[in-house]
Structure 1
Amino acid sequence: MSNSPQGRVTVVGSLNMDLVARTPRQPRPGETISGHGFKQVAGGKGGNQAVAAARLGAHVAMIGCIGDDSNGAILKSALEAEGIDCTALATSTSASTGVALIVVDDASQNSIVVVAGSNAEVSPADIAEQEALIASADVIVCQLETPVDTVRAALAAGRRLQRTTILNPAPAAHKLPIDWFPLIDYLIPNELEAATLSGVTINKPDDARRAAEMLKAKGARNVIVTLGSEGVFALLDDGTASLFQTQKVEAIDTTAAGDTFVGGFAAELARGSAVADAIAFGQRAAAIAVTREGAQPSIPHRHEISA
């Protein structure tokens, strides 16, 4: 891999304790089924992407909020163990640390219920207080598991400070406000999120192209749609449209695969790599992550990624 200088990534986002149950299949509404495994692991899309960026080559700072409880202490210690700067990680005196209830079936598909807890307390004021930290980054990464006003404030700060901004619009329950799009350098939804944001049902790569064209027309500089085992479709600011095929692997758990891609992409972009190379790097990292169980435990280190 490249020996170029370490880039700097600031992640604004959620931190959750993941409670993961393994089951033969996903339960139907009202149904109780027996599981065959349980783990409690560090997660949250913000935390996952921060860990991925750190393991995959970036110097990372985290802006977020944990509760004053054992889960919060564990999550903060896990970030610090990865060398992540936690000086901007606040502690709530009123809300518990966020949790995610995750069911992973034997087909390696997952369903997730997130309880925001302290993540809901990350505010635009926190972004204003951390402007120097944002200014020092090469890349700013956001998701949608913290309040939307806070996410917009972070994207706006990144744009004002001429930093590269990435939005992973997850979970996407509805379309984004139109004034968000010009603030986004790289919009990275999965196929379901891209469908929600664009109104285009995505069943094949051509659908992803139509969705990406609509989202780019709204003002996003680049749109990168992750398609799971079908690869990644990218529509870039120079007009280039490409489908990046993914490495075929035997997946056992897709939890945090998207977060690994985003973190790896951000880390490589921060190092100064070309966009296509950063996409391919993120894909290789995600391909390793799906062969392992758990969220953060599945994320590989840079030395594991083949050139």
Structure 2
Amino acid sequence: MAKVIVFGSLNMDLSVVCGRMPREGETVMGSGFFTNAGGKGGNQAVAAVRAGVETHMIARVGADEFGRRLTDGLEWYGVRCDAVCRAEGYPTGTAVIIRCEGENRIIVDPGANLALGPDEAIADFDAIAEEGDILLTQLECSLETTGALLAHAHARGVRTVLNAAPAFELPEVLYRDLDILCVNETECERLSGVYPADRWRQRDALGFFERCGVADTIITLGRRGSVTMGEGEDAPHLVEAFRVDAVDTTGAGDAYLGMLAAELVRGEGLTSAMEVATAASALAVGKPGAQRAMPTLDEVEEFLRSRRERVRA
């Protein structure tokens, strides 16, 4: 059976709540501190395996306690970690997360996430990949390595998905190796020069990425949902978000991407996969943390059933 292969970052999240953001030179009291396994790569791998598909992780951690805990945690969820190795001389990646008023601010030290070179990543990938698999990656590791792996996977016929986060200027050739590009509003503006504020600007941004060579692009719009350009459609196809009370938005996008990849591996179409991914994201924001907040497929299906029943009532 086809599987999801995630190449990406593994970080230990250090998270704390505060009532308001401190001003320059000011200290404010916080609460609810905890450490939690994170990194976009790790989060998306957990989201995919919780969605019920075989999931492999390609990554590097430091030879330290955080690295051991991150690897053990992924394996506990069921992610296969044969290609997660310890990089001597590097600390494990860390992220400091400040949770304030339902939103978050994040500072990342990538550490060992930058230790994996193109040749190693491709060798790890070739030992795992088969026809029908999906490669899911982000931009928290070396851009050179990410670009080389995307090109190699695309040439092998493996479907490629890039979450362009954090966003920065990308080589033009990289776009042509993408079957699916997923960006949020800020990332969309950074890459295309168009902020997707309305349907017309969304169409302009999606058209930009199409001209760059991307097969399909998804723009996530936060509380408004997500859009893509359906085949033969003149206007973007909108998948509306679900209204929920947000506790912590840290893992929302990663829940979306992991579930999206899992649905695509199962053979679902893009817009159908987006609908299920939207439900996963809605459930994820209802809990604190990242990986611990990723919902199971059963939870997502029950959430969708309850929402449909509510609409019929």
Q: TM-score, with normalisation over the residues of structure 2?
A: 0.92
> Paired residue for 1:78, among 64, 73, 81?
73
1:13 equivalent in alignment to 2:13: no
What's 1:3 paired with? none
- Say if 1:112 and 1:237 are closer, same or farther in 2 by CA, change over 3 A: farther
Aligned counterparts of 1:95 and 1:236: Cα–Cα separation in 2:
44
1:179 equivalent in alignment to 2:184: no
- Say if 1:237 and 1:63 are closer, same or farther in 2 by CA, change over 3 A: farther
Cα offset, 1:28, TM superposition:
3.5
Contact 1:7 1:267 in 2 (8 A): no
Summarize the alignment of residues 60-99 of structure 1 with structure 2, pairs less than 5 Å apart: 60-99=55-94
- Say if 1:28 and 1:185 are closer, same or farther in 2 by CA, change over 3 A: farther
Aligned counterparts of 2:68 and 2:113: Cα–Cα separation in 1:
14
Could you say what secondary structure the match of 1:36 adopts? strand
Runs of at least 5 residues in structure 1 that lack an aligned partner in the other structure: 1-5
- Say if 1:237 and 1:167 are closer, same or farther in 2 by CA, change over 3 A: farther
> Paired residue for 2:250, among 248, 255, 260?
255
Contact 1:8 1:136 in 2 (8 A): no
What's 1:147 paired with? 142
Contact 1:229 1:248 in 2 (8 A): yes
1:53 equivalent in alignment to 2:38: no
- Say if 1:136 and 1:60 are closer, same or farther in 2 by CA, change over 3 A: farther
Summarize the alignment of residues 1-307 of structure 1 with structure 2, pairs less than 5 Å apart: 7-105=2-100, 107-130=101-124, 131-135=126-130, 138-172=133-167, 174-236=168-230, 239=233, 241-306=236-301, 307=304
Which residue identity is paired with 1:220? V
Identity of aligned residues (%): 38
Q: Which piece of structure 1 moves more, 108-117 or 130-139?
A: 130-139
Could you say what secondary structure the match of 1:25 adopts? coil
Q: Which piece of structure 1 moves more, 274-283 or 206-215?
A: 206-215
- Say if 1:28 and 1:179 are closer, same or farther in 2 by CA, change over 3 A: farther
Aligned counterparts of 1:27 and 1:50: Cα–Cα separation in 2:
33
Contact 2:2 2:131 in 1 (8 A): no
Cα offset, 1:207, TM superposition:
2.6
Question: What is the aligned-residue RMSD (CA, Å)?
Answer: 1.5
Aligned counterparts of 1:207 and 1:189: Cα–Cα separation in 2:
14
Aligned counterparts of 1:57 and 1:128: Cα–Cα separation in 2:
26
Measured against aligned partners, the alpha-carbon deviations of 1:123-171 in whole angstroms (never above 9, x if no partner) come to 1011221213133561100100000011101111211110110000000
Could you say what secondary structure the match of 1:125 adopts? helix
What's 2:311 paired with? none
Aligned counterparts of 1:238 and 1:266: Cα–Cα separation in 2:
23
Q: Which piece of structure 1 moves more, 55-64 or 29-38?
A: 29-38
Measured against aligned partners, the alpha-carbon deviations of 1:187-227 in whole angstroms (never above 9, x if no partner) come to 00111101100011233343333212111211111010011
Aligned counterparts of 2:42 and 2:88: Cα–Cα separation in 1:
20
Aligned counterparts of 2:57 and 2:138: Cα–Cα separation in 1:
13
Contact 1:249 1:291 in 2 (8 A): yes
- Say if 1:215 and 1:97 are closer, same or farther in 2 by CA, change over 3 A: same
Aligned counterparts of 2:96 and 2:195: Cα–Cα separation in 1:
27
Aligned counterparts of 1:151 and 1:237: Cα–Cα separation in 2:
28
Runs of at least 5 residues in structure 2 that lack an aligned partner in the other structure: 305-313
Cα offset, 1:7, TM superposition:
3.8
Q: TM-score, with normalisation over the residues of structure 1?
A: 0.94
Aligned counterparts of 1:151 and 1:205: Cα–Cα separation in 2:
31
Aligned counterparts of 1:27 and 1:216: Cα–Cα separation in 2:
42
